[in-house]
A and B are shown apart, each in its own frame.
Chain A
Amino acid sequence: MTDILNAIVLLLNFVFLPGLSYGSQLALGALAVTLVYAILRFANFAQGDTMALSTVMTILLTWLLQHFGITLGFMPTALLALPLAIIGCLIYIMLVDTFVYRYYRRQKSKPITIVMASVGVMFVTGGIVRFVLGPDHHIFADGERFIITAREFKAMTGLAEGLAIKTSQFLTITIAILLVGFVFYFLQRTKTGKAMRAYADNEDLALLSGIEPHNIVRVTWILVAILTTIAGVLYGLDKGFMATSYHQLLLPTFAAVIVGGIGSPPGAIIGGFVISFSELILTYAYKKFFIYLLPEILQPDSLLQFLGTEYKFAVSFVILVIVLLLRPTGIFKGKVI
């Protein structure tokens, strides 16, 4: 019996909890991408690097706060820096929109041209990020690392396996729920949110109804700035900051968007979790898990891993391919053409 409990705790600790928090981080990023898809009608390749940039702003502000001895007790100081970083991110995004995207929007350029412009923005943004903080790994989470440590859990339950809940995981899941709730309330219940959906649905009719495209675009970028910054900071608190790993979030994020259905906000959330859990389930080594469950003679001697962790983004890719082959519209019928 305890063996079964141990096996379950093992999976909870190494697959479920990390999956939940990574999934939330992906979902927030995917929500931002899907909003841009729905309203501005292009795949924003700059998403990962913009996330990195807003995280860089947060890190710099956190260092500044720490320098003046301001911290947030057991919570990470970065939370204090977050609002300012969101504003910084918004200013950057609005500048990019003014100098890059607005022109193509007015020209009614093909989406693929705007995608290419966003690739240009991706490289400029990535350059700024690396120029400021370099390519190294930075850990900026302070305060208590754990809410429950593995040791405390073991002492509490008497099990051999521990279930550790990191502060960052707790924060990620709580903030993600609140933020997603806010975004959905905004889109479903407020006049501006409904106007955004209307604009996404039928641009010409939205104009005929008197909806101002400028306002819609501005509100979209505000939401994107909030989602992007929070997703980036939560990811950084969880795993530390490194420019490349943010850049590489692009693929799982796109995969999440497409799995859920392009332009569909609920789809982006579901997609984020599909990707994160697939990644963790397929790259987890089940050896220990089966040692708990199987009698001694049947116990495995290999790692029992489907895929090495170095190929974790191959999981996103394979899921992407499966979706494109079987149901290109995604789970929540998104836009295919």
Chain B
Amino acid sequence: MAYLSGTNLVAAYDQSVPILNNCTIEAEKGEVAVIVGPNGAGKSTAMKVLLGMLKPSAGSVTLEGKDISRLSVQKRIRLGLAFVPQTDNVFPTMTVQENLEMGAFLRTDDISQTLAEVYDLFPILNDRRNQLVGQLSGGQRQQAAFGRAMMTQPTIMLLDEPTAGVAPNVVDEIFDNILNLKNSGRAVLMVEQNARQALEIADKGFVLVSGRNEHTGTGKELLANPEVRRSFLGG
């Protein structure tokens, strides 16, 4: 069984039509898992269910084999999940250092070790540690967002469209950072619009259509699959 898995998930907002119909998502430590699919396929919804921001009406979420379906967001964060939202993912009027401290809000132990790790991973943040995050560039801000999420010492990072709305040259930088996260032994699960580039670095890919698993496989397999290419990668 995978490290984090959401199995046969069904979920809906309010009482309307379900967004997720029996969909399964899995992520393994030291791997990058990517959810791709057209708009409205339920990509972000799947992420919300895994995090506990939305209660599924059926299916279960497990972490290391333990059922965490009934836990609140805060409890899941304590267990090692971390989330970087697509937008508004930093505290703009606080410094880089303060953003990281807020990421570690729940921790009562010494955080200096983790701070050092984050600064190691993102050296630019170290240089800008006393600057307000609101004054940083888009890429640097994204790094601060990653850094904040890492402060809980998560074992798995959930990223919601990390490259949406950033300049193309920054996209590469962000993908490098994601690989760094993976290489540090964490599990990474992300939703991505930029399907081709995401699948290139993905160890596992989930193609969702109308809340169902349309295709599942390694990134390479999906890139090679003619149907996936035709429908989602523009040939």
Contacts and interface: CB of A to CB of B under 8 A. Distances in A.
A touches B in complex, CB < 8 A: yes
B170 interface: no
A198 B88 contact: no
Contacts of A197: 91, 93-94, 98
A202 B88 contact: yes
Contact of A201 (B77, B83, B92, B105): B92
- Which of A194, A206, A207, A211 has most B Cβ within 10 Å? A194
A331 to B, nearest CB: 15
Given A197-B94, A201-B93, A201-B94, A211 B88 contact: no
B105 A211 contact: yes
Given A205-B91, A207-B73, A208-B77, A195 B85 contact: no
B89 A198 contact: no
A204 interface: yes
Nearest to A333: B93
Nearest to B53: A208
Contact of A204 (B85, B93, B106): B85
B93 A208 contact: no
Nearest to A212: B74
B217 to A, nearest CB: 31
Given A208-B73, A211-B105, A194 B94 contact: yes
Contacts of A195: 102, 105
B103 interface: yes
Interface string A169-198: 000000000000000000000010011011
Contacts of A206: 91, 102
B101 interface: yes
B90 interface: yes
Interface string B189-208: 00000000000000000000
Interface string B99-129: 0011101100000000000000000000000
A205 B106 CA distance: 13
B74 to A, nearest CB: 5
B115 to A, nearest CB: 15
A209 B88 contact: no
A191 B94 contact: no
A205 B93 contact: no
B74 A210 contact: yes
Contacts of A201: 91-94
A207 B92 CA distance: 16
Contacts of B98: 194, 197-198
B148 A209 contact: yes
A209 B78 CA distance: 10
Interface in A203-225: 204-211
A205 B89 contact: yes
A185 B91 CA distance: 19
B85 A191 contact: no
B91 A210 contact: no
A210 B78 contact: yes
Nearest to A203: B88
Contact of B85 (A194, A198, A205, A210): A205
A208 B93 CA distance: 17
Nearest to B148: A209
Given A210-B105, A211-B105, A198 B77 contact: no
Contacts of B88: 202, 204-205
A205 B152 CA distance: 14
A78 to B, nearest CB: 37
A209 B102 contact: yes
A209 B90 contact: no
Contact of A198 (B74, B83, B102, B106): B102
7 contacts: A194-B94, A198-B91, A202-B88, A202-B91, A207-B74, A210-B74, A211-B105
Interface of A: 191, 194-195, 197-198, 201-202, 204-211
Interface pairs A-B: 4 shortest CB-CB: A210-B106, A201-B91, A198-B102, A209-B105
Given A202-B91, A208-B73, A209-B148, 20 more contacts: A194-B94, A194-B102, A197-B98, A198-B94, A198-B102, A198-B105, A201-B92, A201-B93, A201-B94, A202-B90, A204-B88, A205-B91, A205-B148, A206-B102, A208-B83, A209-B102, A210-B74, A210-B78, A210-B106, A211-B102
